[in-house]
A and B are shown apart, each in its own frame.
Chain A
Amino acid sequence: MAFRVFRSINKAALSGEVTRRSFVNWLGLGWLMFTAAMGACTAAMGRFMMPNVLFEPPMAFKAGFPDEYQEGKVDIRWKAKYGVWVVREKGGFYALSTVCTHLGCTPNWLSADSKFKCPCHGSGFYITGIHFEGPAPRPLERYKISLADDGQILVDKSKIFQQEKGQWEDAEAYLPMSA
């Protein structure tokens, strides 16, 4: 079958005459190749989904010693590199994600007004991460926080705690330590 098709294509190509059959055959061949090319493109696209190297900063990092922190202050040292705010309050520490729960911009900590404020659509969050202004539908997320063996604070971003699911009560979401 395939051989017949190719022979007739070949014949038409050699003789330079186009019959109805050879036309249909050429057309079929053309479509076949087109489909194959499209398939290859799709496969190549799929390949992009699996990059050779993936840059991912470590999910857990050490955030210094507890006595480096001041009570009631938001520490913005880890914002640029890890996307985390570590807050020291009277009873202990918690780590807030710097991703706005609206559409993912990075809010700023406005110390004079004691709130996080997002520059994209104006969502505002209290120092605790609770939302109170603008469109953000839920509070900022918190990360797992604990003490490392050497006495430094250890923040692990692979574990997320969401207030609306009642997860802030979780022991790992908060590091108790009286000032």
Chain B
Amino acid sequence: MEAASDTLKMIINKICEPEPFFILMVLWCFASVIWADKWVKPKIAFTMMGAFFLLYLFSLTDSNFYSIATKGDNIPIIAMLFMSVYFTWLGFWRGVENDKRKAEGRPMIEEEGKEVKVLVWPHLIYIEFIVGIFCTALLVVWSIVIMAPLEEPASSAATPNPSKAPWYFLGLQEMLVYFDPWMAGVVAPSLIIVGLMAIPYLDKNPKGNGYYTIKERWFAISFFNFGYLVLWMALIFLGTVMRGPNWNFFGPFDYWDVHKQPVLNNLNLSELFFIKTLDMGLPEHWLKREALGIALTVIYLFVLPVLFDKVPFFKIGEFFKKMRIEMGAVRYYTFIFLFLTMMSLPIKMVLRWTVNLKYVVAIPEYFFNI
């Protein structure tokens, strides 16, 4: 029993190393859409959710995980995990059901009972009122029962180790590890907000308006899931459970050892190129030194978008071409730009983990790093 639980913990620790964890999340993102009709069946889905919950209960028996999971700050994260799983399932399930109904020529779930009109008052207001009371009661109980995780008085000389942002910002904090503070702290968050606001203007596709569907909007759905569930939720999880003292990676069941010191010699692209590959010194002038990185960035942001609809494999090119024609050039290229900026985060993360790449372009002379 003891041995079995130790092996299980070891396996989970292994899975929760950044690379496998991230690969699994990405795979899940695509698999969940491709095999949507299989896994959403309530029997299967609820078995999985049950297993997930059992796994959570099992994890609580571990003292290291217990101390993370029961910290006042982190309780919302645990709740969030279960809620995201449930609501993702709910959306998928209705989508699959609607797709099936459409194929059979039956009306959508949302169309049922459409003839019956109900009034906002009392029907809607009443429900909202009850929910409001319930939430207030919950918050009151919560604030009485769960103590605020206060720490020692703040001091500029001692930063708590690890120093974590509020839980909902842990994804942003993780982003700060990979990009220049100016990029990760100002440019990227603004782009996230602007990009989200732009969706209704970019996405003119009327399909899926007012009803759930998977088949008709599989691309939008996997894209959204990647941005939200992987790059936001999973990063919050990663920041909570997998980041320990000195901001090192730890497995969920690892003891947070302050003295764990993995060697992380990060190198800029210029150093990798000139010193590691060409075996010569760095050029004096920054423009010469960073030419490669700048060229790569320009290609990534400005040449790649043009190539998207020319990919010869698996009809990918055709797909993007159709999208370009349907959306119109301006919308399409704005979308591709936002898409590429979003993808730069996972790309940079993987490069950091695998080849210890620090910055693609690093011009500390002018406070410019990407």
Contact = CB atoms under 8 A, between A and B. Distances in A.
Interface of A: 79-81, 83, 98, 102-103, 105-108, 110, 112-113, 115, 117-122, 124, 132-135, 137-138, 164-165
A112 B257 CA distance: 13
A119 B161 contact: yes
Contacts of B158: 80, 106
B267 to A, nearest CB: 9
Contact of B359 (A106, A120, A137): A137
Contacts of B181: 102-103, 135, 137
B325 to A, nearest CB: 41
Given A135-B180, A137-B180, A164 B364 contact: yes
Interface stretch (B56-64, B73-81, B170-178): B170-178
Given A83-B156, A106-B157, A121-B173, A134 B266 contact: yes
Interface stretch (B11-19, B119-127, B241-249): B241-249
Nearest to B258: A110
B151 to A, nearest CB: 13
Kindly state the interface size class of chain B when it binds its partner. Answer: 20 to 34
A110 B262 CA distance: 13
Contact of B185 (A81, A103, A105, A112): A103
B156 A135 contact: no
A45 B180 CA distance: 32
A124 B155 CA distance: 21
A103 B172 CA distance: 13
A119 B156 contact: no
19 contacts: A80-B158, A81-B157, A98-B157, A102-B181, A103-B176, A105-B163, A108-B246, A113-B259, A117-B246, A119-B160, A119-B162, A119-B245, A120-B159, A121-B176, A132-B265, A133-B266, A134-B177, A134-B247, A134-B264
B250 interface: no
A161 to B, nearest CB: 14
B256 to A, nearest CB: 12
A81 B156 CA distance: 9
Given A113-B259, A135-B179, A137-B364, 8 more contacts: A108-B159, A110-B246, A119-B163, A120-B247, A122-B247, A124-B264, A134-B264, A137-B359
Interface of B: 155-163, 173, 176-181, 184-185, 245-248, 259, 261, 264-266, 358-359, 362, 364-365, 367, 369
Contacts of A113: 259, 261
B370 to A, nearest CB: 10
A105 B247 CA distance: 12
Contacts of B178: 135
Contacts of A117: 246, 261
A135 B184 CA distance: 11
Contact of B246 (A103, A122, A165): A122
A122 to B, nearest CB: 3
Nearest to B177: A121
A175 B246 CA distance: 31
Contacts of A83: 156-157
Contacts of B161: 108, 119
Contacts of A106: 156-159
